[in-house]
Structure 1
Amino acid sequence: MKFIHVTDLHLVPEGEVLWGLKPIETLDACLADIAKHHADASFVAITGDLAERGEIAAYKLLKQRLENFPLPVPLLLGNHDDRVNFKSVFSDAALDHGGFVQQVREEHGGVFLFLDTLKGPPSSAGLYTEERRQWLTQQLDKAGGRPVYLFMHHPPFFISHELMDRIMLDDPEEFAALLQGHDVRHIFFGHGHRAVSGVWRGISFSALPSLNHQLPLVEGSVETVYSHEPPAYAVVHVTGEGIIVHNDAFLDRKPAVMPADAERGTWF
């Protein structure tokens, strides 16, 4: 199966600019590119920071863009989001028994779990409370040994980025304990505004750039906290043998300086 991963939209009300960029224009380009090239995907997961300040106007912009989008779009919350405002606009959003924005999808023999790690202001760190842990425990038990794929905003581990490691998930050990004994194959997250991949306690993981601004890998490599680097979305293939993640910098995809018919049919 194939699905798409997008993260950190940081939408602002119509007409506003965020750090010199227009988030809604990049989202429009992203959705159009996905619809054109990946209409066969099962879903598009957006892993949080949907809005820069959690404003109702920003969520309304997002809802408007998704109304005619051809694929299902599970939405997660990040530290920039406001749960109350989000639910007031997305009144049909999937929620768990405690009102947290959590849901499960079962497709192609796998269980896809979408988690709510929003702690709330003034902290930008994440939190996975006991009530939310109960829901995850129930879903992992229901999986019955089937492959599980997790989606969340905050990583439950260090990603070797000095700034972001201060605001990861607050309760990583408690979270890790929940996963023991279950076939968790991969964790997809956002928050870091960078392409990151690796293995944590035997579980592979991946993250990708924001759709708006990025965080430079090395502090001081640019003069500002944030940087302008290419946004991307991820195309994920889940096969019988493993997981393949392609990051596509869709706004920077340009023809090479070469004749259109060069190098065709000469590789095999």
Structure 2
Amino acid sequence: MAKTCAYCDALPPLTREHIWPNGFLKRGNFGVKFSAKANKTFAGDLTISDVCPKCNNGPLSTLDAHACELFDRRFSKFVEAGASVPFTYDYGLLMRWLLKVSFNAARLTGQDVALLSRYRETILADHPCSPAFVAVYVATISPSHMIDSENGTSRKIYPHAARCGPLEIPAIDVSDILVTRCVMINSFMFSLLITRSSGIPTGRVAELLRHIPGVPLALGGRMRIGPPSLPAHVALGGVTAWPKMESRR
């Protein structure tokens, strides 16, 4: 059976789809990428060759354009400790773009693909809409002051990274009722909660929400975020580890 478009099931030819928008990566100068599937970093772009030209150059490109506009206006600016920042956006476009990036990354690793594929039509929609049964929390990340334990020199580490993948909350397993994923762009961290059905136990979700950083993404497309919920060394987690460094207390 011929491989078809991951978004609309169109037959070949198929094109390469960047996990992150190409213009987005160039703006951020994200020179090193990390693949969880390969468990390594490398210099090339993360792509997957399963999207038809119509989807790639049409609705997916529209979502990427909004993300690039947000990068120019907000994501390119780091957030300092204790600061709060204004954030304006198109709620539907941003939500659909976060799902697009998550769906792209999921297909690359093979994790959460079935659930995210339910949102293909929403991602491709040519009219204003937002996905059902998806909640997004947004938090900001502050730089970390790190000290070299050998020579005592210090360095300020900024969260310069674009990452996407499953969001694991220690000691809380709700995978039977929802999927949690994270999209991180420099100082901004978006946590996606995608339910498997419309009826879920509110008590279990409430327990999870106590551990999700940030606040719900505002429906109106305008909010103030902060102060930061996480320091950079925690948010980056080790993909960009700095050997022999420890947090300054």
Class of the TM-score when normalised by the shorter of the 2 chains: under 0.3
Structure number with higher helix proportion: 2
- Larger relative contact order (C-alpha < 8 A, sep ≥ 6)? 2
TM-score by length of 1: 0.26
TM-score, structure 2 normalization = 0.27
Which structure's residues are more often strand, by fraction?
Answer: 2
